[in-house]
Chains A and B, each alone.
Chain A
Amino acid sequence: MSTLTLRNAAFSARVPRRLLVVNAVLSAVLFAVLATGLLGGTFPIGMQDLMAVFSGTADPVTQMVVVENRLPRLLTALGVGLAFGMAGEMLQTLLRNPLASPDVIGFSAGAGLGAVMTVALTGVSGLVLPGALAGGALTATLLLALVWNKGMSPGAIVLVGIGLTVTLGVVTDLMIVRLDANDVGELVKWIMGSLSARSWEDTVLVWAGLAVVAPLAAWHQFALARLTMADEVAASLGQSLVQGRLITIVFAVVLVGFGVAAAGPLPFVAFVAGPIAHGLSRAPRPTLLTAAVVGALVTLLADRIAQALPGFFVLPAGIFTALIGAPVLIWVLIAQSRRRRR
Chain B
Amino acid sequence: MTQLSTKNLTLGYGGVPVLNDISLDIPDAQITAVVGPNACGKSTLLRCLTRLIKPMSGQALLDGTPIHAQKTKAVARRIALLPQSAEAPPGMRVSDLVTRGRTPHQNPLQQWSVKDEDVVARALAQVGLSDQADRAVSDLSGGQRQRAWIAMVLAQDTDILLLDEPTTFLDLHHQIETLQLVRTLQNERQLTVVMVLHDINLAARFADHIVALRAGSIICQGAPAEVVTEATIAAVYDLQAKVFAGPVGGAPYVIPL
A residues adjacent to B (C-beta < 8 A): 1-2, 5-7, 10-14, 96, 218-219, 221-222, 226, 228-233, 235-240, 278, 282-285
Complex interface: chain A residues within 8 A of B79 (CB)? 236
How many angstroms between the C-alpha atoms of A282 and B96 in the bound complex? Answer: 13
User: Which of A12, A222, A235, A283 sits near B113, CB closer than 8 Å?
Assistant: A12
Task: Take A7-B114, A226-B100, A284-B90 as given contacts and tell me if A238 and B75 are in contact as well, using a CB distance cutoff of 8 Å.
Answer: yes
Known: A233-B81, A235-B51, A236-B81. 5 other contacts (CB 8 A): A229-B86, A230-B86, A233-B86, A238-B72, A283-B91
Among B52, B99, B111, point to the contact of A235 (Cβ < 8 A).
B52
Is B213's beta carbon under 8 Å from chain A?
no
The interface residues of chain A lying within 8 Å CB-to-CB of B73 are 238
Contacts of A226 in B (CB 8 A): 100, 103
B156 within 8 A of A: yes
By beta carbon, the residue of chain B nearest A240 is B72
Q: What is the 8 Å Cβ interface bit string for chain B, positions 106-118, against chain A (1 contact, 0 not)?
A: 1111111110110
Q: How many chain-B residues does the 8 Å CB contact rule pick out?
A: 42
With A230-B83, A238-B73: A13-B89 Cβ-Cβ less than 8 Å: no
- Kindly state whether residue B245 has any CB partner on chain A within 8 Å: no
Write out the residue numbers on chain B whose beta carbons fall within 8 Å of the beta carbon of A10.
Answer: 109
B residues engaging A (CB < 8 A)? Answer: 47, 50-52, 72-77, 79-81, 83, 86-93, 96, 99-101, 103-104, 106-114, 116-117, 134, 156, 162
Closest beta carbon of chain A to B161's beta carbon, Å: 11
Give how many A-B residue pairs fall within 8 Å (CB-CB): 90
Interchain CB contact (< 8 A) of B91 among A218, A237, A282? A282
Most buried by B among A10, A233, A240, A282: A233
- The answer to whether A238 touches B134, judged by C-beta atoms less than 8 angstroms apart, is no
Chain B neighbourhood of A7, CB < 8 A:
112-114
Complex partner residue of A237 from B47, B74, B89, B104, CB under 8 angstroms:
B104
For A228, list chain B residues within 8 Å (CB).
Answer: 89
Given contacts A235-B51, A240-B72, is CB(A284)–CB(B96) below 8 Å? yes
- Docked CA distance A290–B107 (Å): 21
Question: Which residues on B sit within 8 Å (CB–CB) of A231?
Answer: 52
CA separation between A3 and B91, bound complex, in Å? 14
A233 & B83 in contact (Cβ 8 Å cutoff): yes
A1 touches B112 (CB 8 A): no
Q: How far, in Å, is A5 (CB) from chain B's closest CB? A: 6
CA distance A282 to B90 in the complex (A): 10
Given A12-B113, A14-B111, A236–B76 Cβ distance below 8 Å? yes
Task: With CB as the reference atom, state the residue of chain B lying closest to A6.
Answer: B112
A216 vs chain B, min Cβ distance (A): 11
CA distance A5 to B77 in the complex (A): 24
A14 x B72 contact (CB < 8 A): no
How far apart sit A238 and B105, CA to CA, in the bound complex (Å)?
A: 10
CB contacts (< 8 Å) of B76 on chain A: these are 236-238
- The distance in angstroms between the C-alpha atoms of A240 and B77, with both chains bound, is 14
A238–B111 touching, CB < 8 Å? no
Complex interface: chain B residues within 8 A of A240 (CB): 72
Given A232-B47, A237-B103, A219 and B72 contact (CB-CB distance below 8 Å): no
Residues of B within 8 A of A284 (CB): 89-92, 96
Give the distance to chain A from B220, nearest Cβ to Cβ, in Å.
28
- Which of A6, A226, A236, A240 has most chain B Cβ within 10 Å? A236
- Is there contact, CB below 8 Å, between B109 and A11? yes
Alpha-carbon separation in the docked complex, A211 to B90 (Å): 31
**Does B110 lie within 8 Å of A12, measured CB to CB?**
yes
In the complex, what residues of B have CB within 8 A of residue A232's CB? 47, 50, 52, 81, 83, 86
Among B80, B89, B99, B101, find the residue whose CB has the most chain A CB atoms closer than 10 A: B89
Q: Which residues of the other chain, A, contact B77 by a CB distance below 8 angstroms?
A: 238
Asked if A238 and B103 make an inter-chain contact with CB atoms under 8 angstroms apart, the answer reads yes
Cα of A2 to Cα of B133 in the assembled complex, Å: 11
Pairs of residues from A and B, 8 with the lowest C-beta to C-beta distance, nearest first: A238-B76, A236-B81, A222-B108, A238-B73, A238-B104, A237-B103, A14-B112, A236-B50
Q: How far is the CB of B135 from chain A (nearest CB, A)?
A: 10
Minimum Cβ distance to chain A for residue B160 (Å): 11
Could you say which of B80, B90, B103, B111 contacts A12, with CB atoms under 8 Å apart?
Answer: B111
Q: Is the CB of B108 within 8 A of A235?
A: no
CB neighbours (8 Å) of B80 from chain A are 236
- In the complex, what residues of B have CB within 8 A of residue A278's CB? 91
- Bound state CA distance, A284 and B94, in angstroms? 12
Q: Are B111 and A13 in contact, CB atoms less than 8 angstroms apart?
A: yes
How many angstroms from the CA of A14 to the CA of B93 in the assembled complex?
13
Contacts A7-B112, A7-B113, A232-B47 given: A239-B103 contact, CB under 8 Å?
Answer: yes
Q: Are A222 and B89 in contact (CB under 8 A)?
A: no
Q: Is the CB of A1 within 8 A of B134?
A: yes
* Interchain CA distance A221-B106 in the complex, whole Å: 13
Q: Measured between alpha carbons, how far is A10 from B108 in the docked complex, in Å?
A: 11
In the complex, chain A residues whose CB is within 8 Å of the CB of B110 = 11-12
The residues of B that contact A219 with a CB separation of less than 8 Å are 108
Q: Shortest CB–CB separation between residue B127 and chain A, in angstroms?
A: 17
Most interface-central of B74, B83, B99, B134 (chain A CB within 10 A): B83
Q: Which residue of B lies closest to A15 (CB)?
A: B112
Q: A14-B112, A231-B52, A232-B52 are in contact. Are A237 and B156 (CB under 8 A)?
A: yes
Distance, CA A169 to CA B257, complexed state (A): 67
